[in-house]
Structure 1
């Protein structure tokens, strides 16, 4: 999937390979060789496109725009489609907010245009303003179970609108879109949450949801392991703890 790349700068500026050759060699050997080929950090379901999607989601979650700009072209070469790349960015808005995602949307558009992709891409929405709430609830039930039936109208009155938005916006607007199946959508959600940190309750919940839709514990640990070079050890270990907690509760 990855080759050793040192060129982060253009327009006549020196590359990292020129300015920091020792670091580039160290990081490249670890992230693009040792991590990729480590047996304990791999899984049969973790092919190159899936690994690339997890890393892209992680870079958005950690606000790693420079690294994202370097690795999106690599991800496209590895088999990630333009539609899949866009869907990762779109879904990030629900978990990171528009303010943090807009730079990545602009960067994605720039890179796709540079690669000769015609924009806009074919639309992926499957709902309307009239159907999104019901479709979102169906998605929630399918992912989290029957306890989500009626969730949109539950909770204290002063915060009930958040539950409604989770159903019709987060799940009705995003999870029902084409381009990514539910297993990959839950995987990238786990990556968004692990990368930004401070979301451990939600991370544990979505680790459990991942397992419900078929992303087993070993797969999730492999995903987080592949993303470790981009988020560091503390957030990686926090994510693994949340995955272990979710697995223990599921027994």
Structure 2
């Protein structure tokens, strides 16, 4: 099924524009991304922009491009940190429908690597790896009113999700940037996670290529903002 399946007969010229530009983006050679990486970015971008119907079309394409069911689930799970359960829940249901239609037996093998006792320390370790020593135990050095959220960031955002199997840290930072850039209005966080990407080895050129692949789905304003955030992070390195 293509992204234009529902309207190619009623809106043939528009469908042709869409299909041609999607192909142009996929073939962009400025910095070519492996197909699997490209689809990880697109899945994350569709979560971020709340493109549920496009996500329904994208899931089988992502699986065909080499994204395995565990990786797909990890991208969707981790989006909860950045979009909230209220926005992710519909995608969980669509994803599971698509996986079952593809013959995937659910539930998949678990990917958790932490316990309730270790999640805080393990999550903080990931924060430090991506963002540096300034992130060490920030819940102990912050103003009293920020203690709870800073502790949750380490234990829940990074401990419960980033420590899971299925994706590398570099891949997790990439999809996080995609969620944030695609939802818009979070430029300080997008800049911080552009820096986090560079901290785990994703270059400025690579991040530009990621934005190229998101652009057909999230539009020019959010894509241009994302490029500006990447530029700002690179300049501060």
Question: Shift in Å at residue 4 of structure 1?
Answer: 5.6
Match of 1:12 in 2: none
Match of 1:146 in 2: 133
Question: Shift in Å at residue 158 of structure 1?
Answer: 1.6
Specify the SS of the correspondent of 1:67.
helix
Provide the C-alpha distance between the structure 2 equivalents of 1:151 and 1:28, rounded to a whole number of angstroms: 47
Structure 1 length as normaliser, TM-score?
Answer: 0.92
Provide the C-alpha distance between the structure 2 equivalents of 1:162 and 1:152, rounded to a whole number of angstroms: 8
Q: 2:46 aligns with which of 40, 48, 59?
A: 59
Match of 2:77 in 1: 90
Residue ranges of structure 1 left out of the alignment (5+ in a row): 8-14
Provide the C-alpha distance between the structure 2 equivalents of 1:150 and 1:201, rounded to a whole number of angstroms: 21
Provide the C-alpha distance between the structure 2 equivalents of 1:166 and 1:6, rounded to a whole number of angstroms: 39
Q: How does 1:111-126 map to 2 (within 5 A)?
A: 111-126=98-113
1:39 aligns with 2:39: no
Q: 2:11 aligns with which of 12, 20, 27?
A: 20
RMSD: 1.1
Question: Shift in Å at residue 16 of structure 1?
Answer: 1.2
Structure 2 length as normaliser, TM-score?
Answer: 0.98
Provide the C-alpha distance between the structure 2 equivalents of 1:22 and 1:170, rounded to a whole number of angstroms: 44
Q: Which runs of 4+ in 1 moved over 4 A?
A: none
Provide the C-alpha distance between the structure 1 equivalents of 2:152 and 2:41, rounded to a whole number of angstroms: 25
Question: Shift in Å at residue 5 of structure 1?
Answer: 4.9
Provide the C-alpha distance between the structure 2 equivalents of 1:154 and 1:114, rounded to a whole number of angstroms: 49
Asked if 2 retains the 8 angstrom alpha-carbon contact of 1:152 and 1:166, the reply is: no
Provide the C-alpha distance between the structure 2 equivalents of 1:212 and 1:190, rounded to a whole number of angstroms: 13
1:235 aligns with 2:222: yes
| Matched length | 237
Match of 1:183 in 2: 170
Residue ranges of structure 2 left out of the alignment (5+ in a row): none
Q: 1:192 aligns with which of 131, 155, 179?
A: 179
